[in-house]
Amino acid sequence: MTQNPAVICLTSLSHSGSTVFSMALACHQNTVSLGEVYQVLREGPEYWLNANDKICSCGQPAAKCDYWGPALRKLIEQKVTSPSTDGYFEQAYHLLLDEFRHLYSPQMQAIDTSKGVKHLKLLADSGNIDTRVVFLIRDVRSYSCSQTRLARSENRKGFKKVKGHHWYQMLRWLIDNKKRESLLSSLALPYTTTGYEPFCFEKESVLADTFAFLDLPSRSSSANLAESKHHVLFGNPMRNCESRKQKVHYDSRWFNETGYLTPAAMFPFVMQYNKAKVYRAHEPINNDVTALFPEFGAHS
């Protein structure tokens, strides 16, 4: 294995399951999830060290966290503190990885679940960070129902009301995922595409495939989320919910909703992309899983 610092980038659209998937990845003996690293850096080290109400998933504020405390103080010692300064993110990222290698063995890999794509470009341009990307995609029907439900609860006004329609969320899902896929190809970063639903219902199989892609050795234990190693300072609130950190909880409310049916029929190209990317090599064959997806294939 390379001696360069190694990073696993788990990239996805928001609300696509990256937090729980990263925690499952962090059950491997050679991985630790750091959550949305780029978003932490965007606030600057001084903000986090003084924010006692911002709790890491380890249960401590940043200043007392075994990882983030020393890492953020190192940024201040090296005078890498201002996100508006040229080169800040690149320098800060390298210093965070230096502290990671100081705290853990060289065989350990950090998992970054940052949203957006700026960190991907940063890592692609770096000549001494071994980066592999896991591109996580959630079923468009589940995604559109969740995002539509959220938009309507916020009582949006004017043009923003369009976000409360399934057709808008389905097209947005397609466009944004295709853009990210195109970017990954152009950056020439090694990546694999993984469906969130197959992970939820065929967890061991999907994780085995993912670990193989990451060139990680066989796990010493199963993916019990309670054994996950993580220092997630910024990310989904579930990181600090003890009950939700114990197992995978799938939001199945869309099984009983119908709002997505008409746009799914109107946009067969969306459903084709959904089937090809989310269920690639994981088409449900288990009777229990098939029962959970009564519409699978009906609109593809």
> Cα–Cα distance between 277 and 273 in angstroms, integer?
6
- Identify the structural domains of the chain with CATH numbers, from first to last: 6-292 (3.40.50)
Residue 225: CB atoms within 10 Å? 17
> Cα–Cα distance between 275 and 128 in angstroms, integer?
36
How far lies 197's CA from each of 137, 153, 277, 278, 283, in Å? 9, 25, 11, 7, 10
Q: Which residues are paired to 111 by β-bridges?
A: 8, 33
pTM attached to this predicted model: 0.88
Query: pLDDT tens per residue, the chain (300 residues)?
Result: 446 778 999 999 999 999 999 999 999 999 999 999 999 999 999 999 999 999 999 999 999 999 999 999 999 999 999 999 999 999 999 999 999 999 998 889 999 999 999 999 999 998 788 999 999 999 999 999 999 999 999 887 788 889 999 999 999 999 999 999 999 999 989 999 999 999 998 999 999 999 999 999 887 666 678 888 999 998 765 554 554 556 788 899 999 999 999 999 999 999 999 999 999 765 543 433 444 554 444 333
pLDDT at 223: 66
Report helix angle 140-153 to 166-187, nearest 10.
Answer: 120
> Cα–Cα distance between 282 and 275 in angstroms, integer?
10
What sign has the CA pseudo-torsion 123, 124, 127, 133? positive
> Cα–Cα distance between 216 and 48 in angstroms, integer?
32
pLDDT at 290: 41
